[in-house]
A and B are shown apart, each in its own frame.
Chain A
Amino acid sequence: MATKDPKDLIEDDEDHGPQQGVPLVDNGEFSDLGFDPDRKLKIVGTTPIKPDGVDKVTGRAKFGADTQLPGMLVGKILRSPHAHAIIKSIDTSEAEKLPGVKAVCTRDDFPDIKPGPMKDISYICMAREKVFFDGHQVAAVAATSEKIAKQALKLIKVEYEVLPHVIDVMDAVKDDAPILHEGNRPKGIDDWPEDKQTNILERAEWSKGDVEKGFEEADLIVEREFDTKPMHQSYIEPQGCIANYTEDGQFELWTCTQAHFVYRSRLAAILEMDISKIRVSVSELGGGFGGKTMFYAEPLAAVLSRKANRPVKMVLTRNEVFRATGPVAGTHSRIKIGVKKDGKFTAAEAEMYFQTGPFTGSAFGNAPQACFTRYDLENIRAYGYEVVSNRPKVNAFRAPCVPQIVFGVEGVVDEIARRLKMDPIDLRLKNAATEGYETVYGYTFGPVGFVETLKAAKEHPHYKSKLGPNQGRGIGCGFWFNRGGETTASLNITPDGSVNLMLGNPDVAGSRGSIAMMAAEELGVPFDKVRPIIGDTSSLGYNHSTVGSRVTFSAGMAIVRSARNAIKILCQRAAKEWGVPEDSVVFEDGYVRPASANVGDFEPLSVADIAKKAGQTGGAIAGHAEINATGAGPGFGVHICDVEVDKETGLVKILRYTVVEDAGKAIHPLQVEGQFQGGAVQGIGWALNEEYIYNEEGRMENPGFLDYRIPVCSDVPMIDTQIIEVPNPLHPYGLRGVGEVPVVPTLGTVANAVGDAIGVRPRSLPMSPPKVLQLIEEVEANGVDEPYAA
């Protein structure tokens, strides 16, 4: 993929799972970056204060909404009040006449892009023939003040013809459902009737072995259906940006994003500009979790800036964030697993439905690939449907589409353990995939740490502790591919030997610090001598987005290669100074030394010694790397959760929670623990509370943090963590990636704990008090569910 068409970028980026076009297996390209188990580490594995830390505790750090430009206008967006309607007309004339209004934009200001992913993305930002959800963007205004901009929005007249709408995924696949896209033909279903309308966009299947035979061999088959609700990533920072289109046709954007290179390509398509004329700079990012891989306000701010010849700042409100930015797909699934009496799984099947909003983008293909991957299964059939409905287009969230299905899979596994009267960890150990297992997506595991992770969980004091009345314990486990991808880095050694790094990925939680630690380790200089920044899109080659647990892994490889390139130059300069051949010197612990006594008696030269004279020995010393990283190591997590259920109210209290996960190698252990803890608590919120509530008109009724309730500090206990380190042999420091796995098992783990406490396993999320109370009442009326008897 040497040259990139914007459309290619978009298709790559919409799939947050295994990479397209990148070999999954080691092809030898990175043989210089393999893991060295004997290497002694000084910095990697310690816990220095992160380089962005001080600015973030003093209020200096600049996030998306925290900057201004001279002459800046304020932009505001007019949104659809309807879930599904034809836009018959838009009249902006009154708004344009209001003093202080400098530009108004509508669908007429956006190019009519040919059908494909870019058209869908553009359509989300600016509705065309129809609006598809409550909150869909239909017009925008730039004015000299926010007050005037808001007044102007009220003067825009939009005539709608309201259409029937559909919200729920299983309602959307009914024969009589309102149809979002007339004439849609589902991909992946060859025999779909010619005249049948549907909201199914695509069917995707991953299978291996002989599932029928596997189920025939089973002594026990458990088959259950499950539902999960969409949740919002709920980053605390609403999207904020400043667009600045200048008279000479250049465009600058400042924004909070996980994906500045992808934004650039997409803006080039919408603005019909050369990519090189667009420069996207990233602010500090106030949370993303996948949600800031898609833009909303940015193209509108760009068009308004171009029309007004002024910078335009746009900041979304929390209401807008909830109503119109991408949540996570809601799902319905049917999970079936067959097992022998001794606990060995014989076959597994998953049928899945994913609610994607009005357009594709759920990355639902991850689920059939990942939902059973961790178990040593020979026979798998896993297929899913991506279904449109009148909700905002879904977006990525940690391990897109996988936790929802693992919620069901781990429930079925829990039931099997109960029916076979086996310890739930022993059952998983009996079926744990190990090195050499060929996955359903065709990748064969190298060294993986699932067994080690399960064993550590079994030995953990939490697992051996006793429970009280009305309390229950659940176990769950999960997998994520982890990712590599296109990554660039630049390393410059300054004249005093301190080091600047320019990195190409927005830092969501501390990656720049971990990458700087690897650079310091390579160069043998103290950590505080290495200063990393995140480069804008004009300062580095293309970088894939901050997604899929790829950054510390991939940028680590890029920075190690950059450092080693710089070290080659350091060695050349020292050899030149000593007048000896280049291959007669070595670099060790921050010094160039003669390789042996035969070379001569020279005092070792430090990085700073050589840098000081760089001007006389050939110019600045630097290293850079442009790679398409492969060799990401699969990650596995095992969670243990204790809950107490209030039998009168149905309220579930998390009493104790432990995350055990294989990190490969923890570069900065406190940051790795933070990923485990944060992922688990996000999953706890999804499991217990979080859901969108729509009224009969299809309008969201809880677009705020009071009514859409994410976990607060008093809702959760300390989250215990145990880092397992089974090194990834294809990374210089052995790391795997730890951002996605921690959320994957959480929904299933909490549900298994609630089931243990009340005698029936919840199969529908969220496990909010009214739903749990209903289950308790069913148990009181009919006794505990069969697997819980005895």
Chain B
Amino acid sequence: MARNHVTTTVNGDEYEFLCDTEQTLLDCLRDELFLTGTKEGCASGDCGACNVMLDGRLVCSCLVLGVEANGKSIETIEGMAHGDELHPLQQKFLELNGLQCGICTPGILVAAKALLERNPDPTETEIRFWLAGNLCRCTGYDKVVRSVQAAAEEMRKG
């Protein structure tokens, strides 16, 4: 069976790729575009390691088909920094040790960025419930939440 031709925008650049109909957006990003910053932890939408933005909406890319991305705009972890200037979330995760092994970090950063774009001053509870779909086994979440709080504060200052 012929593969599907998909045209999509990833981190501002236009890309084309071929994929099987049943291939997930996660697999397309990783295996067709070699954007391996987006991770697979479960392939069932339970861990958030594959979080990307699809037309401005936070999604688990393992629950989206590659063909659904046709004509749409995708933002992944690879597009988060601008040149060598890290996003404040990236910077605070580094400074406050918001990551240990780092496998969940891309998904958490993408999700946290989506949170701060809609709520620049979230409470600790709001952060914890927003990130409840992003599993982390190393940190116990303490320094993850603190990093998001610190980044929010810095971003509010402008």
Give chain A's interface residues, CB within 8 Å of chain B: 47, 49-50, 52-63, 65-68, 147, 233-238, 284-289, 315, 317-318, 508-510, 670-671, 673-674, 677-682, 704-706, 710-716, 718-719
Contacts and interface: CB of A to CB of B under 8 A. Distances in A.
B8 interface: no
A714 B132 contact: yes
A686 to B, nearest CB: 12
Given A286-B101, A714-B129, A238 B142 contact: no
B97 to A, nearest CB: 4
A713 B102 contact: no
A38 to B, nearest CB: 29
5 shortest interchain CB distances as A-B pairs:
A59-B37, A286-B103, A56-B102, A681-B140, A59-B77
A284 B102 contact: yes
Contacts of B63: none
A236 B101 CA distance: 9
Given A509-B100, A713-B131, 18 more contacts: A57-B90, A58-B37, A58-B81, A59-B106, A61-B102, A236-B103, A284-B101, A284-B103, A286-B102, A287-B101, A287-B138, A288-B101, A677-B140, A678-B100, A710-B135, A713-B144, A713-B145, A719-B142
Nearest to B93: A57
Contacts of B76: 59
29 contacts: A47-B97, A53-B93, A55-B102, A56-B99, A56-B102, A56-B105, A57-B77, A57-B80, A58-B37, A58-B77, A58-B81, A59-B35, A67-B36, A235-B137, A236-B101, A236-B104, A236-B136, A237-B101, A237-B103, A673-B142, A674-B139, A677-B139, A677-B143, A678-B137, A705-B46, A712-B132, A713-B127, A714-B132, A716-B140
Contacts of B141: 677, 681, 711, 713, 716
Interface residues of B, number: 58
Given A58-B37, A286-B103, A706 B140 contact: no
A168 B18 CA distance: 49
Interface string B119-158: 0000011011101111111111111111000000000000
B152 to A, nearest CB: 15
B46 A674 contact: no
Contact of B44 (A318, A678, A680, A712): A318
B94 A53 contact: yes
B155 to A, nearest CB: 16
Contacts of B46: 704-706
B145 A718 contact: yes
Contact of A713 (B36, B38, B94, B134): B134
B100 A510 contact: yes
Chain A binding surface, main DSSP class: loop
A509 B40 contact: no
A671 B49 CA distance: 22
A282 B131 CA distance: 30
Contact of B40 (A47, A53, A65): A65
A396 to B, nearest CB: 15
A312 to B, nearest CB: 15
A759 to B, nearest CB: 29
Contacts of B135: 234, 236, 705, 710, 712
Nearest to B126: A714
A275 B81 CA distance: 43
A560 B41 CA distance: 37
A241 to B, nearest CB: 15
Contacts of A715: 132
Contact of A712 (B81, B133, B139): B133
A494 to B, nearest CB: 23
Interface string B2-41: 0000000000000000001000000000100011111111
A318 B40 CA distance: 9
A693 to B, nearest CB: 16
A50 B143 CA distance: 15
Contacts of A673: 97, 142-143
A318 B94 contact: no
Contacts of A61: 102
A52 B100 CA distance: 10
Contacts of A671: 97, 100
A60 B81 CA distance: 12
Given A238-B40, A712-B132, A713-B128, A287 B137 contact: yes
